[in-house]
Amino acid sequence: MLQEVTNNQAEIDSVAVQSLQANSSRLWHWLEYTYVVILLGTLTQGPVNKIWEGSSQVDPRSIEITKFATYILIQAPAFFLLVRRGISKPLLKGPIGLLLLFVSWMLLSTVWATSSSNTVFESVTLVLTCSVGLYLARSFRLIEQLSLFFVAMQPGLIFSWYAVRQKWPVSIQPEEGNWVGIYFNRNSLAPPAALGLLAASALLWVVLVRRPKWWAAFAVTLIATTLLDSYLLLRSGSLTSVGSVVVFGVVWLFWTAIRWWHRRKKISPRQMLRGVYPSFLLGVVVTTWLGFRFQSVVFDRLGRKIDFNGREVLWRFSWNGFKDKPIIGWGWMSAWRTEKFFDREFWWALTNNYWSHSAMMDVLLGGGVIGATLLIVAIVWGGARQLGSVCSEISGQWAFAATWFVIAASTQESFIIGNHFMLVLLVSSVIGFQPDKNTDVFSKTITPAQV
């Protein structure tokens, strides 16, 4: 009898311990979700700019340092969590390794950068923000990433809508009436609005397919949020983000068609790797070239002019600067702070410019052919690694569509920089996500050895 009582007590204790561990694990997950939402919301930069806006009028230089310190502090836990969870050696032999080489090269460029005092800081923040993207990719499943991006974008957008409604100072650009909200300008409000509506749309796709409990309430909420985010995007007047959303949609539809053909056994995994994916990349290159080739025509039709005050002259300067140092570049974000760089025609039109208004140009200018090659190969290899998830995950198209959404937006803005959520989105999309428990066997048909 005593032995039976002892055994029963042991079972009760075991159940109690397991229950405590389960509750502790759930609490940790929710705390981590909350942290990531705050992290991504902070990296939209609008909340930080608004907090320090008044103080910057007193001492701009000190407040700039304070802003960067805020970004570093909010990203530090993600970096330490990534280090704690680690990256296995096999994963380093792929796009993750190339991305780490890319940011390492940019950090090394400090050695030959003319403006090393500036580029050291820019390079360190690039490494840190890239690590945040790796942390997201290595820690969360696709549905979790979509939810985190969706929720993180909404507070800043809601406050922006409120700021406009309450007529807060500089919430609307006086010249053209474009909405800014709590952000710096229209091109900093538009990307969070675009990502918010895209993540909401992808989640809506999941909800309609899976039909979870309370799916109707989720669907109504997501539709309402999509409408609000779309409204804010349009009122911002940012053609860059609108065009990037169109790119997202085209890529999503392309891979949706590939999913349809594959599930009807009309395309094999080998054909996807050897035929479909190279054709997709070729189509992207040709479309991009055509977009730049006929950009002036498009702008003329829209009633906008590209003159010497526009981005074309910035890109011309960047391209000429790249040709001066094509192999190793000027050092990450160093050229625009180097006097010799401005020793060319129309230098007078570019005062107070510190970047190219194109991440592609900034990568070429800062890291040369070596830096650009590392980044391009990482993106292409990352896409090849994720061909399986396109068909195995309900919203598997997200990885490709989000990647090219960021790249399209980065042709007009310098989004591939430290302390910015768009770099986090790019890295997490290129690397992917933790596999879902419901993933089917298709994801195993294309192995790392094949790519």
What is the DSSP annotation of 40-72?
HHHHTSHHHHHHTHHHHTT-HHHHHHHHHHHHH
Tell me the domain boundaries of the chain: 2-450
Task: Tell me the C-alpha distance between 35 and 31, whole Å.
Answer: 6
Listing DSSP states for 72-107 in one string gives: HHHHHHHHHHHHHH---HHHHTTHHHHHHHHHHHHH
Work out the average pLDDT over 113-122. 79
Q: Is the pLDDT of residue 209 over 90?
A: no
Per-residue confidence (pLDDT) for residue 268, from 0 to 100: 81
Which residues neighbour 220 within 8 Å (Cβ) at sequence distance 6 or greater? none
Task: Tell me the C-alpha distance between 206 and 203, whole Å.
Answer: 5
Across 207-221, 254-268, 344-358, 378-392, least confident range: 344-358
Q: With bands split at pLDDT 50, 70 and 90, how would you rate the model's confidence at 381? A: very high
Task: Tell me the C-alpha distance between 362 and 67, whole Å.
Answer: 22
Instruction: Provide, rounded to the nearest whole percent, the portion of the chain with pLDDT above 70.
Output: 81
Q: Is the pLDDT of residue 305 over 60?
A: no
pLDDT in tens, 180-199: 999 988 889 999 999 999 99
Task: Tell me the C-alpha distance between 210 and 19, whole Å.
Answer: 29
Q: Is the pLDDT of residue 202 over 90?
A: yes
Per-residue confidence (pLDDT) for residue 58, from 0 to 100: 53
Per-residue confidence (pLDDT) for residue 443, from 0 to 100: 35
Q: Across 173-187, 205-219, 228-242, which has the greatest mean pLDDT?
A: 228-242
Q: With bands split at pLDDT 50, 70 and 90, how would you rate the model's confidence at 451? A: very low
Across 75-89, 237-251, 337-351, 368-382, least confident range: 337-351
Task: Tell me the C-alpha distance between 270 and 393, whole Å.
Answer: 18
Q: Is the pLDDT of residue 134 over 90?
A: yes
Greatest CA separation for the chain: 97
Read off the DSSP letter of residue 276: I
Q: Is the pLDDT of residue 131 over 60?
A: yes
Round the average pLDDT of the chain to a whole number and report it.
Answer: 83
Task: Tell me the C-alpha distance between 59 and 208, whole Å.
Answer: 51
pLDDT in tens, 3-30: 555 555 555 545 545 555 556 678 888 9
| CA-to-CA separations, 416 to 34, 342, 419, in angstroms, rounded | 25, 23, 9
pLDDT in tens, 328-379: 999 998 888 888 887 776 665 565 667 788 899 999 999 999 999 999 999 9
